[in-house]
Amino acid sequence: MSGNSFGLLYCVTSFGESHGPAYGGVVDGCPPGLVLSAADLQKELDRRRPGGSRHVTQRRESDAVEILSGVYEGRTTGTPVGFLIRNEDARPKDYAAIAEKFRPGHADYTYLQKYGVRDARGGGRASARETVVRVAAGAIAKKWLKEKYGTQVRGYLAELGSKKLGFGRWEEVDRNVFFSSNAKVVPELEKLMDALREAGDSCGARVNVVASGVPVGWGEPVYGRLDADIAAAMMGINAVKGVEIGAGFAAIGQKGSEHGDEMTPDGFLSNHNGGVLGGISTGQDITVSIALKPTSSIRLPRRTIDGQGKPATIETTGRHDPCVGIRATPIAEAMLACVLMDHALRHRAQCGDVQPPLRLGRKA
């Protein structure tokens, strides 16, 4: 499989550039019979859409999605679901100034060196706008997982720069532009972002994603582990530099007597493993946490080189998110949903005849 597809059985293929005509995707492997319309995809696309507040890029895109195949009389047919999102507010000229310089921390340089050619319009293929495809594909996965297994995939912004947001309530997440589960911190976040924007700088973020209602048994050891595939899916999101499952890096300092989740007939007594043991889901919540680096396109001047390798200074003035992490929540949810759906299908392929011998409660 080539670099722009992921998933073995729920397989997502993506194409498109930030300032080209369109983005599109193909979802192959979706079971037939799922009630599906463009509105299901649109709902999730609207959550990640730019232009929603002054704290994100001011690019205006409706991100209107058209389903081109795979759905007949309102239901999936089992054939590939192709979909298209036209770029509407492309302004390739904005990028003329930076076309001949490399933004520190951006993929400008590596794309040119790898391919010998570079679509400099807004980052081209490297733009985070590509995540529309993931979100659309994730919307289908989310819907199927919910209907088939009652599985729910939800995320929230956990840290904005060095500010820890804490966890409040799931209901709050979609009520503010930050995807904060904690309403109280929102005014502070707004101030933080205003200051950042004014300074012409950017900051990093942490997003947590949780899948609840995952049955026990998903995941294929030893290389096709559920957590390995989740790690790839998360690290494959633009700007992500770290991934944790369960206790994550805190596990280093834990003793075995503390970390190992004890069990009773009522269920596990803790969830340090984040819902995965030996690469297979335990039936507990799957808990994932990711670190997003600060946006590389900032107004502050930075040292760089130009297309001839000469020293230069760069100040990026296009339309950018001062913190890419802010809009990352629906993207991370989508990626987790796609991985889970892929493994749900893989599991029933091999183990469709297995009845899990034990029924545990769902304590932790």
Residues 74-93 that bind a second copy (CB under 8 A): 75, 77-82, 84
| Residue 172 or 306 with smaller CB distance to a second copy | 306
**Non-local CB neighbours of 158 within 8 Å, separated by 6+ positions:** 164, 165, 167, 205, 206, 207, 208, 289
Burial of 239 per CB tally in 10 Å (0-12, 13-18, 19+): buried
DSSP state of 239: T
Does residue 257 bind a second copy (CB under 8 A)?
A: yes
Q: Which stretch binds a second copy (CB under 8 A): 41-49, 166-174, 179-187, 234-242?
A: 234-242
How near is the Cβ of 342 to a second copy at its closest, in Å? 10
Q: How far apart are CA 127 and CA 121, in angstroms?
A: 9
Token code pair at residue 67: 């389903």
Go through 129-141 and write b for each residue having 16 or more CB atoms within 10 A of its CB, e for each that does not: bbbbbbbbbbbbb
Does residue 244 bind a second copy (CB under 8 A)?
A: yes
Q: Which amino acid is at 29?
A: G
Size of the site for a second copy (CB under 8 A): 164
Contact by Cβ (8 Å): 50, 130 = no
The C-alpha R_g of the chain, in whole angstroms, comes to 21
Taking CB under 8 A as the criterion, the residue among 40, 44, 63, 159 binding a second copy is 159
| Residue 42 or 281 with smaller CB distance to a second copy | 281
Taking CB under 8 A as the criterion, the residue among 42, 151, 176, 202 binding a second copy is 202
How near is the Cβ of 61 to a second copy at its closest, in Å? 16
Residue 248 φ then ψ, to 5°: 55, -135
Q: How far apart are CA 44 and CA 135, in angstroms?
A: 6
Does residue 32 bind a second copy (CB under 8 A)?
A: yes
Does residue 349 bind a second copy (CB under 8 A)?
A: yes
Taking CB under 8 A as the criterion, the residue among 38, 109, 183, 190 binding a second copy is 109
Does residue 144 bind a second copy (CB under 8 A)?
A: no
How near is the Cβ of 8 to a second copy at its closest, in Å? 7
Taking CB under 8 A as the criterion, the residue among 35, 167, 235, 317 binding a second copy is 235
CB atoms within 10 A of CB 194: 13
Does residue 29 bind a second copy (CB under 8 A)?
A: yes
Taking CB under 8 A as the criterion, the residue among 245, 286, 328, 336 binding a second copy is 245
Taking CB under 8 A as the criterion, the residue among 98, 337, 345, 363 binding a second copy is 345
CB atoms within 10 A of CB 93: 10
Taking CB under 8 A as the criterion, the residue among 106, 142, 143, 327 binding a second copy is 106
Does residue 48 bind a second copy (CB under 8 A)?
A: no
Does residue 333 bind a second copy (CB under 8 A)?
A: no
How near is the Cβ of 350 to a second copy at its closest, in Å? 5
Q: If residue 149 lies in a helix (H) or strand (E), which one and from where to where?
A: helix 131-149
Does residue 318 bind a second copy (CB under 8 A)?
A: no
Short-list 328, 316, 312, CA closest to 106: 316
| Residue 17 or 44 with smaller CB distance to a second copy | 17
Question: Interior CA angle at 141 toward 138 and 144, to 5°?
Answer: 150
